[in-house]
């Protein structure tokens, strides 16, 4: 069982290592090329967006996002643009999702998310390219 601090550190480290970025609606949220990587990335196989495996991964992502921070408690999944799977570095496999969220009142945010599975296909964790921005209601300045 991973602690929340470890999960946050893992997510931040993965985002920094991969060099991913978040984009706004209308622009694809694709991971940028990592110039330090030398070699061929493992092949990915598309998954049906309606498959049980993808639906379980989406449910896991939404649950974990709400658990990460109280700021994400109103997050809604708008659309899953794509789902692919590829071999993990060690045993198991990864599910690569391109997701579009509504963070709060039409604050749209697109992200690349990786869901980790072990060799028995049990979900063991996730990583997101960048923590989403959420602008909560701000109190007006007090009269001076």
Q: Using one digit for the tens of pLDDT, what is the confidence trace for 57-112?
A: 999 999 999 999 888 988 999 999 999 999 998 889 999 999 999 998 899 999 99
Beta-sheet pairing, 76-87 with 108-117: unpaired
pLDDT digits (tens, 9 = 90+) for 41-71: 789 999 999 999 999 999 999 999 999 988 8
Say whether pLDDT at 29 is over 80: no
- pLDDT at position 27: 41
User: From the DSSP assignment, how many helices (H) and strands (E) are in the chain?
Assistant: 2, 5
**Contact indicator for 117, 94 with CB cutoff of 8 Å:** yes
């Amino acid at each position: 069982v991973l602690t929340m601090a470890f999960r946050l550190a893992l997510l931040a480290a993965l985002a920094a290592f991969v060099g991913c970025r978040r984009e706004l609606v209308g622009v694809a949220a694709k991971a940028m090329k990592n110039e330090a990587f030398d070699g061929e990335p493992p092949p990915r196989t598309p998954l049906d967006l309606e498959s049980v495996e993808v639906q379980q991964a989406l449910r896991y992502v939404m649950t974990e996002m709400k658990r990460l921070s109280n700021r994400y408690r109103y997050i809604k999944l708008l659309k899953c643009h794509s789902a692919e799977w590829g071999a993990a570095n060690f045993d198991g496999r990864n599910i690569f999702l391109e997701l579009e969220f509504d963070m709060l009142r039409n604050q749209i945010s697109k992200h690349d998310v990786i869901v980790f599975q072990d060799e028995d296909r049990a979900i063991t964790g996730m990583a997101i390219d960048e923590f989403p921005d959420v602008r909560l209601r701000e109190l007006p300045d007090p009269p001076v």
